[in-house]
Amino acid sequence: MDDELTALRRSRMRWNTPLSEPHAELLLDRMALGEGHLVDLGCGWGELLLRAAARAPGLRATGVDVDVTGLGRGRTAAGERGLAVEFTESDAATWDVPAERAFCIGAAHIFGSTTAALEALARVVLPSGRLLYGDGFWAVPPNATALDIFGPDLLTLPDLLDAANDAGWRVLHVSTAGQLEWDDFESTSRAGWEGWLAAHPADPRAGEVRDWLDRRLREYVRDYRGVLGFTYLVLGR
């Protein structure tokens, strides 16, 4: 897809994760934000990072990603809201600047695996700090198609918590995305392109967009709705 459509696909999404407004507020509460440095590794457009910066004005907030489209959206939002949030184009997997607080939500893949992510993040977050870590897990055994989509390395929730403990973390909070959060996430992930498709049915790109939308909805409802879970962990040491 070209840059125009790539930017448009996530345009209706509040954040690129299954998360409601009340759930987001709960997570920010559990992070005990104050002064210091907060880094969001794999931030995308950093909506939760922006919310954190607005909530704790003494916080130094940095978002790190290689997605220039997402970073641009984040910078625009920060400017519109008058927030001094820095968005840095860099490989989050190699980030080594220590921070009192960190977010890493839905970005374990950039480190290679859940285990590798939890171990790497333990080297970034200061010993007295906290990490908000979001990751997928198998809520029930997956079928072959779900395994093919998400790969064989996804853990169950108990195994994910064990991996956090093995990496030296203490689990301070655990919550999971509910079905409504998932349905809203999947619907908004398609909404930008659905709106474009309705307005441009004869565009040469319309067939490819329609195929992607149909396949995504089919895979969701048939293969991983209620099968793939997503957890939010607040971790300390």
Query: For 76-119, what is each residue's pLDDT tens digit?
Result: 999 999 999 999 999 999 999 999 999 999 999 999 999 999 99
Cβ atoms of residues 106 and 13 within 8 Å: no
- Phi/psi for 138 (5° steps) reads -80, 115
**pLDDT tens, 44-57?**
999 999 999 999 99
> Which pLDDT belongs to residue 7?
83
Given a cut of 80, is residue 3 above it in pLDDT? no
Given a cut of 90, is residue 231 above it in pLDDT? yes
Question: What token pair was written down for 222?
Answer: 């048939």
Given a cut of 80, is residue 196 above it in pLDDT? yes
**pLDDT tens, 164-181?**
999 999 999 999 999 999
Average pLDDT of the chain, as a whole number: 96
**CA separation for the pair 169, 16 (Å, rounded):** 25
Confidence of residue 43 (pLDDT cuts 50, 70, 90): very high
Please, what is the angle between helix 68-81 and helix 47-55, to 10°?
30
> Which pLDDT belongs to residue 4?
83
Q: Which fold has domain 14-177+228-236?
A: Rossmann fold (3.40.50)
| pTM for this predicted structure | 0.96
- Phi/psi for 137 (5° steps) reads -155, 160
- Phi/psi for 116 (5° steps) reads -65, -40
Q: How does DSSP classify residue 203?
A: S
**pLDDT tens, 114-124?**
999 999 999 99
